[in-house]
Amino acid sequence: MDKRIVVSRAVPEPALDVLRQAGKVHVCPQDRPLTVPELHEAVRGAHAIVTMLHDRVDADLVAAAGPQLEVVANVAVGYDNIDVPAVTERGVIVTNTPGVLVDATADLALGLLLMVTRRLGEGERLLRARRPWTFHLDFMLGTGLQNKILGIVGLGDIGQVVARRARAFGMNIAYTGRRRAAAEVEAELDARFLSQDELLRTADVVSLHCPLTEQTRHLIDEAALATMKPTAVLVNTSRGPVVDEQALAKALREGRIGGAALDVFEHEPEVEPALLDLDNVVVAPHLGSATTETRTAMAELAARNVAEILAGHEPPNPVHR
């Protein structure tokens, strides 16, 4: 009997081809995040579930699927939407999709940084509003990146690639995190390891690349923002709840930091309304991995994880916690 594979939302066809070779595939037809009851109903009898970052995966979902469930394959590198201990203790393997989205996310982080420091979003809004303008030497001045300090919170795979790109712009690299990077990584990037407090005090740009955990939730809060330079810029391409959005909006409105560029939000898809009223904020709708090549590679990797587990093999990317 074919094993039942439930995909919570449409994925690229190459991934479905992989899944169809592993079992009988059901793709949920709703083109939106499923409600909890909808998701629980959809996964009944599933041997494998392919989930998105907006799907809550916990003991209740495992129970709804039934005892035959073998794997939950998350189409994301982050898995803060999954209660990993509760799922794995029931004998279900959790997988994710690391590696394949590193370059795309790093590219977007640099794009957001350029947008906020060079006021590109603000300039485009001016033109689209058909407001009059003329060139003059003090018109819509931004700031350059050369010789500025990029403070990276979380020098993992994405953080390292962001650092390499930033060095090409002439930036100096500092970083903080739970542990120091390998000596060869520090040497390649000429990166200084700092305490979080010192990094926030000295960086011209703070770029977030840490996972969302209970320790990093609201890592950037009112106190952290008060530590930053009044000219500093915050870039977040990690997870929204790492930043207290209300505190950020207040700090920006009061001129206590210079700007922010955000691809992720605390209560996606909602965005703190106060942020949208500010010209020194650039926002994007979670586009970090949004290239055709990257999203296809993510879905294919999730599909391969499923196929290997259903065939009784070790998956490429198990999550261990």
Active site residues: 239, 268, 286
* Residues with Cβ within 8 Å of residue 201, at least 6 apart in sequence: 227, 228, 229
Tally helices (H) and strands (E) across the chain: 13, 12
Cis peptide upstream of residue 269 (ω within 30 degrees of 0):
yes
Instruction: Judge whether 205 and 151 are in contact, CB under 8 Å.
Output: yes
Q: Rounded CA gap, 28 and 8, in Å? A: 5
| Residue in the block written with tokens 């009944």 | 44
User: Which residue matches tokens 């998350």?
Assistant: 74
25 phi and psi, to 5 degrees?
Answer: -100, 130
8 A C-beta contact, residue 302 and residue 50: yes
**In this structure, how many other beta carbons lie within 10 angstroms of the beta carbon of residue 236?**
26
What gap in Å lies between CA 48 and CA 190, rounded to an integer? 44
140 torsion bin: left (phi>0), alpha (psi -120 to 50), beta (else): left
HSE of 60 in the Cβ direction (CA atoms, 13 Å)?
Answer: 8
Any idea what DSSP says for residue 48?
A: E
Mark out the alpha helices in the chain (DSSP H runs). 13-20, 36-42, 59-65, 84-88, 102-117, 120-128, 157-168, 183-189, 196-202, 222-227, 245-253, 273-276, 292-310
41 residue type, one letter:
E
